[in-house]
Amino acid sequence: MRAILALICVFLQTVAAQRTPTISYISQEQIKDIGETVELHCSVQYAQEYPVLWIKVNRENVHEQVALSTGTALIIRDSRFALRYDTASTTYQLQVKDIQETDAGYYQCRIQISVNNLISAEVELQVRRPPIISDNSTQSLVVSEGQPVLLECYANGFPPPRISWRRENNAILPTGGSIYRGNTLKISFIRKEDRGTYYCIAENGVGRGARRNINVEVEFAPVITAPRPRLGQALQYDMDLECHVEAYPPPAIIWLKDDVQLSNNQHYSISHFATADEYTDTTIRVITIEKRQYGEYVCRAANKLGTAETKVELFEISTPNINYPGLQWASAAIRYDFLKWLYATVSFIVVAITL
């Protein structure tokens, strides 16, 4: 009888020894904020004779693995990590405190049976992190009017960021509306009115989000307007002729009269004022007007995309135009002559009324 019992015990021990080690439980995916604490559990069976390890693995590079613990002992020297073993449930609990963004990844519980034989299970730790806009997003563009345009914006973060587009001052987007959602903003036919700053905004509920300013420059041929296409002035007085030029790249601007290009001299003074990259105000001052200086003046602007021009007529009047803001009297002597003329005219009118 004793012999039979002994045989049964040996048989049971042999069966137990032959049972394959297994991982009966592994924690589900964990999602944590930076600074929080996470606990990862791994329960094993029939693994008393084998080492049980926690390893942080890199799925993209199998050679990048960091062993964190073996059995009930930590390998990594980091005070944020702790290991506990529960004998009743044969559970290995890995704790990570003060979670950092770099702690995100896959943690593997492994039973190492032999050099080439192992049993493993993995749990992913996701760390919430604010969006960061990727370098492969559009930074700035220079395009010609009429071309198609593609603006791209990508961002990293967890949860995956949502991308939206806006324009400066909430201007209407070329796609319509003041906001567009998606990684790419497509403009099939860009106009000069579409130039300006576009905002790529990445948000995922973590932090304040991220924003990139994308400057879109649209090259276009000059457009010229004359605010006062006809101006009158008396002989021997000055008068300013103006035109506004809109163009990009900045154009070359000239003034002509009778097909002759004018330049700065004792008769003319030309000035250009760039109010922005695309806007230029140009003025030609006709100095001490003579008879031959009356007529049509041409303001012409040209860049690599085209040429445009407009005309301003200067005609003679008998009474000096002193109300125009750009007027400058030619000299103190002329000012004095005008005052004398004005005084004589008023005196004559008074005398006439008296008589």
Average pLDDT over residues 242-251: 95
Average pLDDT over residues 274-303: 95
Final residue of a structural domain among 95, 128, 161: 128
Domain presence at residue 341: no
> Which pLDDT score is estimated for 338?
54
Q: Mean pLDDT score of the chain, rounded to an integer?
A: 89
Average pLDDT over residues 308-314: 97
Average pLDDT over residues 36-45: 97
> Which pLDDT score is estimated for 271?
96
> Which pLDDT score is estimated for 187?
96
Q: Please check whether residues 34 and 106 belong to one and the same domain.
A: yes
Select the more confidently predicted residue: 338 or 73: 73
Q: Please check whether residues 26 and 113 belong to one and the same domain.
A: yes
Average pLDDT over residues 129-146: 95
Q: Please check whether residues 37 and 110 belong to one and the same domain.
A: yes
> Which pLDDT score is estimated for 289?
96
Domain presence at residue 324: no
**pLDDT over 70 percentage in the chain:** 86
Domain presence at residue 328: no
Q: Please check whether residues 34 and 90 belong to one and the same domain.
A: yes
Q: Is the pLDDT of residue 315 over 70?
A: yes
Number of structural domains the chain divides into:
3
Q: Please check whether residues 144 and 208 belong to one and the same domain.
A: yes
Q: Please check whether residues 105 and 50 belong to one and the same domain.
A: yes
> Which pLDDT score is estimated for 15?
41
Domain presence at residue 16: no
Average pLDDT over residues 225-252: 96
Q: Please check whether residues 183 and 248 belong to one and the same domain.
A: no
Q: Please check whether residues 274 and 239 belong to one and the same domain.
A: yes
Q: Is the pLDDT of residue 183 over 50?
A: yes
Domain presence at residue 295: yes
Final residue of a structural domain among 221, 249, 275: 221
> Which pLDDT score is estimated for 62?
73
| Least confident range of 45-49, 261-265, 311-315, 321-325 | 321-325
Domain presence at residue 249: yes
Domain that holds residue 291: 226-316
Which residues, 6 or more positions from 104, have their beta carbon under 8 angstroms from its beta carbon?
125, 126, 127, 129, 158
pLDDT digits (tens, 9 = 90+) for 72-102: 999 999 999 999 999 999 999 999 999 999 9
Q: Please check whether residues 35 and 65 belong to one and the same domain.
A: yes
Domain presence at residue 349: no
CA distance 348 to 320: 19
Final residue of a structural domain among 175, 197, 221: 221
Q: Please check whether residues 29 and 120 belong to one and the same domain.
A: yes
> Which pLDDT score is estimated for 308?
97
Q: Is the pLDDT of residue 108 over 50?
A: yes
Q: What is the CATH number of the domain that holds 190?
A: 2.60.40.10
Q: Please check whether residues 235 and 289 belong to one and the same domain.
A: yes
Domain presence at residue 335: no
Q: Please check whether residues 275 and 254 belong to one and the same domain.
A: yes
Give the pLDDT band (50/70/90) at residue 10.
Answer: very low
> Which pLDDT score is estimated for 78?
93
Q: Is the pLDDT of residue 335 over 80?
A: no
